[in-house]
Amino acid sequence: MPTSFSQAFPDFKNATHTAIISDLHLCEAEPINPKYPLWKKFKTRQFFFDDTFTQFVKHIEDKAQGAPVELILNGDIFDFDSVTSVPKEPVFHVEWLERQRGLYPREERSRYKIEMILKDHVDFVNTLREFILRGNRAVFVIGNHDLELHFPQVQEEIFKHLNLPDHKRHEVRFAEWFYISNQDTLIEHGNQYDPYCMCEDPINPFVRGYNYVSLKLPFGNLACRYIMNGMGFFNPHVDSNYIMTLPEYIRFFFRYVARAQPLLVLTWFWGAVMTLIHSFFDRLAAPIRNPLKIEDRVALIAQKSNAEPRMVRELKELFVAPAASNPFLLARELWLDRAFMIFVTFFLIFQLMVFVRSVYEVSFFWAFIPLFLLLPFFLFYSKSVTSLVSGYKEPDDRVLAMASAITKVHRIVFGHTHQTRHEIIGSVEHLNSGCWSPAFLDVECTKPLDQKTYVWLSPGEQGTRQAELFRFMDGKSELMTNPGRGSSSNN
């Protein structure tokens, strides 16, 4: 391995105590809307948990009893897709769509977004800084909502806010999609096994446009940007807030949305169309690859992840195919197939009525008869089409077995699904660290899914480490002996 890699990265292969958290979804603070206070209420400052994070960090240090702690921030720590602010005096051209739904994933724009996030989470930054200065280390494993951490300028902005002395900067590391802790635990965010949220090529994540370099975003990210960012009464952190049946959508609309956003259907429609278009063209974009540097790139990823280069290549072979390969599937997930059916039905009935009226003097009200006759068929079709998004929350035993064999570990920890897990699947111990995101079951934000869970790895019997799943509440850890399976979102 090149000498420069060893000089740039200290040895992280040994760890006694490791804490793993994921899915914090830190974002900019949403200003309170005085006219419609429920608009993105979950994103307002009152639900920030920076103070809880500060208590948590001190708590895990106490649990380690003075030994260094390895803190793994396992993906979706930052939510770039939910940042909608734009600079007042931008040094780059901001398009209309960016002003409506957030900046594109390009390096100078992503650096602005992480700056906005970190400015609104000063306590988080200060806590992490003091944690590092006390002799601990932190590893960011990149997830689907913080893919923009791939940009070097974004990582440099984080270092700028941490303001660490030079000899401590190396105690913070960014891993492309996986990390091996103490040669006994594989840690991944898990989005690479979800076709709706996977990064197509984390080894070469960038694509070239006309006079710019961008990231290729998965379908789930694009849906959050172009649909969810414009529908502020839907909480993107909980599936049941936006994946509903048609009657549930209608009830939700009249209860919360009708007065504030009466044209919600149009907002959804053009957002869904933009999501489908961007997904299609992003799928066609070829990653930027330099054949002369591929091996150096693989070796660097392996070094940062405590792995071997062959492990990087072999783990990549486990990735699922992106859902964007099937635009018809995406259209169904976006409900655009049902919108198309309605449009075609109205068009044909209108043409029929025009023809009939050219022969007979009849009222256009007769058009409602075929509409009512077709309504049961439409409802039947809508009910028969189910979303496949939630189908990727269960761990794949084949993936677990293969990843375990590739990395020579017996334990694998995921995040992404927001569902806490601790179980034995085959010969592999599988855990999911759950989430810290502002997830609520209701628009009023009175029914929180307040997990604040984490995985704790510590010395066990016979010189091996044991894994435990805890919920952090009121400054204390509560062991989760029967982890639940909540309804939080993985998008």
Lowest mean pLDDT among 155-159, 306-310, 364-368: 364-368
Provide the pLDDT for residue 59.
96
pLDDT of 4 > 60? The answer is no
Give a yes or no: residue 223 inside a domain.
Answer: no
Question: Looking at the 3D structure of the chain, how many domains does it have?
Answer: 2
The length of the chain, given as a count of residues = 491
Phi and psi at residue 211, in whole multiples of 5°? 65, 25
Phi and psi at residue 410, in whole multiples of 5°? -115, 0
Average pLDDT over residues 287-304: 93
The CATH number covering residue 86 comes to 3.60.21.10
Candidates 317, 336, 320, 318; CA nearest to 328 is: 336
Instruction: Name the residue with tokens 């096994």.
Output: 193
Do residues 290 and 392 both lie within one domain? Answer: yes
Average pLDDT over residues 317-325: 92
AA letter at 401: A
CA distances (Å), 318 to each of 200, 215, 362, 369, 404, in order? 12, 21, 63, 53, 12
Tokens encoding 447: 């029914």
* Per-residue pLDDT tens over the stretch 345-376: 888 888 888 888 788 887 777 777 877 777 77
Do residues 156 and 46 both lie within one domain? Answer: yes
Average pLDDT, the chain: 89
Provide the pLDDT for residue 381.
65
* Per-residue pLDDT tens over the stretch 254-279: 988 988 999 988 999 999 999 999 99
Give a yes or no: residue 225 inside a domain.
Answer: no
Provide the pLDDT for residue 383.
66
Do residues 108 and 158 both lie within one domain? Answer: yes
Do residues 377 and 416 both lie within one domain? Answer: no
The most confident of the ranges 173-177, 284-288, 381-385 is: 173-177
Give a yes or no: residue 106 inside a domain.
Answer: yes
CA distances (Å), 398 to each of 188, 234, 453, in order? 16, 35, 26
Average pLDDT over residues 378-392: 69
Provide the pLDDT for residue 75.
92
Do residues 208 and 296 both lie within one domain? Answer: yes
Provide the pLDDT for residue 22.
96
The most confident of the ranges 49-63, 341-355, 475-489 is: 49-63
Do residues 379 and 393 both lie within one domain? Answer: no
| Three-class secondary structure of residue 112 per DSSP | helix
pLDDT of 464 > 70? The answer is yes
Candidates 234, 202, 228; CA nearest to 216 is: 202
Do residues 436 and 311 both lie within one domain? Answer: yes
Provide the pLDDT for residue 9.
63
pLDDT of 122 > 50? The answer is yes
Lowest mean pLDDT among 8-17, 91-100, 190-199, 255-264: 8-17
Residue 363 sits in which domain range?
336-384
Do residues 461 and 444 both lie within one domain? Answer: yes
